[in-house]
Chains A and B, each alone.
Chain A
């Protein structure tokens, strides 16, 4: 899923400073699962914003909504009838959701209530970690199911570098060395011979370097 984190309240207060009627919109997708922008967070943030503005002696009217998803047109449309009654929309969805709201509600300034961080997993309750950078051409079959792009701090395809020590990355003793993980996993699988192969220079056009990406399935188009 996409992992995000709520922005500091000070930053949000600065963004909404010019407005006194805003919509705070949550999303029931990924950001609910990672406790950054679901119904609960919409409620907590809205209360905090109201309180802060009250202390400043300035009024703030908030409508709290949490949509099924913000990355699909059909779930955005229900906001249409009441959106005009508000000056701005504060979205707690991931970066994709926030942008889609901005595209569909063209008269409204749309503001980000979260920082979108990465594609990851819930490693344990309250702990999310990165697994994928969406590079667009998967090599997990060759690396024991552990991604060198996302898990190695230098995205090396033929690692580890000289900075791998006792299983940890040179940049932080808390971070596992991705290539140590790959080595251990391939050893477990009895596939260490895979490490002998020089993985070729990557074609990054399938990643961000090819420009904004698009996927089309003609058979599904109406």
Chain B
């Protein structure tokens, strides 16, 4: 065991993992965190806490991670390199570990242009792959980047994201290989709607043997409406939604759109389970946490293994 987190144990045991996601509030209201967290309780093995996603200021991922920990849940702290230099990054990793956080997801971060502070200065002292290297160096070599010995090693289970649908497509697997070389333990992908393209991606992953070196969790997000499907297709960077999905959401009509969205999501999870090299799903029910239980149950993924 590298970190001994619940997520690491589940994946190491070969159990098909389920991770969830929690977007912190745009303020200091703890009850928002508690409400969402309780909806995820018992349905997922670890909960990603986003780090000012889409560059909108929210409660910090470390603070929310600590709250989840107090609630007896397992957080995965997302960390973007947009807002912190290497000094702040390493300091926050020490702090997060001290508060009981054992999983970290290393990300570049959405550009500040998208958020509520587009006039901000960004940092990008490291990139996401270099962040993986940093966390690994701290964990395995017991040193900070500058070379000093660490007093109390932050043994993190290291994750990263991969978007199989961003361009250039042929390069995505090379970039995944770079993340593996940098020392990543698990990967969570961007939400998948284009199953054929994802299968082609996984084929390339297997050809390079990467599926044996890293745990890949396939990202899924249930659609609430045809509008959401179109928004994902047209507005969200690096996202592909095939016409077939859009048509299904459209034919369902307004009344049944949500139900159809859940049906599609459950079908996708069942298909993803069949793909060699997919070791779990990352379920991002954006502002729809109340449906997580139903999705996971219908996909036949309950009960979750007991956290020890």
Binding site for B on A (CB under 8 A): 153-167, 170-172, 177, 180, 183-184, 192, 195-196, 198, 200-202, 204
Contacts and interface: CB of A to CB of B under 8 A. Distances in A.
27 contacts: A154-B108, A154-B111, A154-B124, A156-B127, A156-B128, A157-B127, A157-B130, A158-B175, A161-B128, A161-B166, A162-B161, A162-B163, A162-B238, A163-B238, A164-B168, A170-B110, A177-B167, A183-B168, A183-B171, A195-B178, A198-B133, A198-B178, A198-B182, A201-B86, A201-B126, A201-B133, A204-B125
Contacts of B114: 170-171
A193 to B, nearest CB: 9
Given A156-B124, A162-B166, A171-B114, 20 more contacts: A154-B108, A155-B124, A156-B108, A156-B127, A157-B127, A158-B127, A162-B161, A162-B162, A162-B163, A162-B238, A165-B166, A167-B167, A177-B167, A180-B168, A195-B174, A196-B177, A198-B129, A201-B130, A201-B145, A204-B125
Nearest to A154: B124
A196 B179 CA distance: 10
Nearest to B162: A162
Contact of A165 (B110, B113, B124, B167): B167
B190 to A, nearest CB: 6
Contact of B178 (A163, A164, A171, A196): A196
B115 to A, nearest CB: 11
Given A154-B122, A165-B238, A198-B129, A160 B178 contact: no
A162 to B, nearest CB: 3
A158 B160 CA distance: 14
Contacts of B1: none
B139 interface: no
Secondary structure dominating the interface of A: loop
Contact of A160 (B122, B166, B177): B166
**Chain B: interface residue count, which band?**
35 or more
A52 to B, nearest CB: 29
Given A158-B129, A201-B86, A163 B171 contact: no
Contact of A159 (B82, B86, B127, B134): B127
A177 B175 CA distance: 15
Q: Which of A154, A184, A196 has the most CB of B within 10 A?
A: A154
B124 A158 contact: no
A154 to B, nearest CB: 5
A217 to B, nearest CB: 31
Contacts of B190: 162
A172 B159 CA distance: 28
B127 A163 contact: no
A163 B80 CA distance: 14
Contacts of A196: 174, 177-178
Contacts of A162: 108, 161-163, 166, 190, 237-238
Contacts of B162: 162
Closest 7 interchain pairs by CB?
A162-B163, A170-B237, A163-B237, A158-B129, A156-B127, A162-B238, A161-B108
A13 B238 CA distance: 46
A148 to B, nearest CB: 9
Given A158-B130, A160-B166, A177-B167, A165 B237 contact: yes
A160 B167 CA distance: 8
A187 to B, nearest CB: 9
B171 A195 contact: yes
A184 B134 CA distance: 29
A196 B114 CA distance: 30
A154 B110 CA distance: 9
A44 B23 CA distance: 54
Interface string B249-271: 00000000000000000000000
